[in-house]
Amino acid sequence: MKYAIVTFGCRVNQADSLRMEEEFLARGGTATAAADADLVVVNTCSVTASADQGARQAIRRIARDNPASRIVVTGCYATRCEADVAVLPNVVRVVRNSEKDALVERVTDGDGPCGAAIETGVRRALRILHQPLDSWSRPESADRRCRR
């Protein structure tokens, strides 16, 4: 599986992204640019309104440059505005900060919108959350269009 991690914000996000990178590599993933990736993880910040806007713009740009990509969004913006993030183009999963440790395992094991199309091989972080992928529900408002 080819993956990319795009990180916004603080040192905590940077450390989380490095941990995810290690987990993807340990599972046989290949790091690449977002334009070439099968899966793109966007680790967001939400310290200011411009940080939120930057994350939305990055997600739209990734989807435009790589229409086949599956985008998983995590971080503070994803946690704070889950429904808004879920309706952005190519977003297949929104992972709250409290579930971030399980992100790699969740998106590489199982049969969800991410897992089914991704080769297995990248797994570790999410041993906390061992429920099936379909237990990660998409927010009810995700069917509505984003107004931003």
* pLDDT tens digits for range 83-92: 999 999 999 9
Which residue type does 96 have? R
More confident residue, 47 or 124: 47
Tokens of 11: 């040192």
**Mean of the pLDDT values across residues 4-25?**
95
The answer to whether 48 and 82 have CB atoms below 8 angstroms apart is no
**Complete DSSP assignment for 90-116:** TEEEEE-GGGGGGHHHHHHSSSSTTGG
More confident residue, 113 or 90: 90
Residues of the chain above pLDDT 90, percent? 66
Spatial CA neighbour of 5 closest among 87, 125, 111:
125
The mean predicted confidence, pLDDT, of the chain is 79
Is the pLDDT assigned to residue 78 strictly greater than 80? Answer: yes
At 49-75, the pLDDT tens digits run 889 999 999 999 999 999 999 999 999
**Mean of the pLDDT values across residues 88-100?**
96
Predicted pLDDT at 135: 43
- Report which listed range, 49-53, 113-117, 121-125, is most confident: 49-53
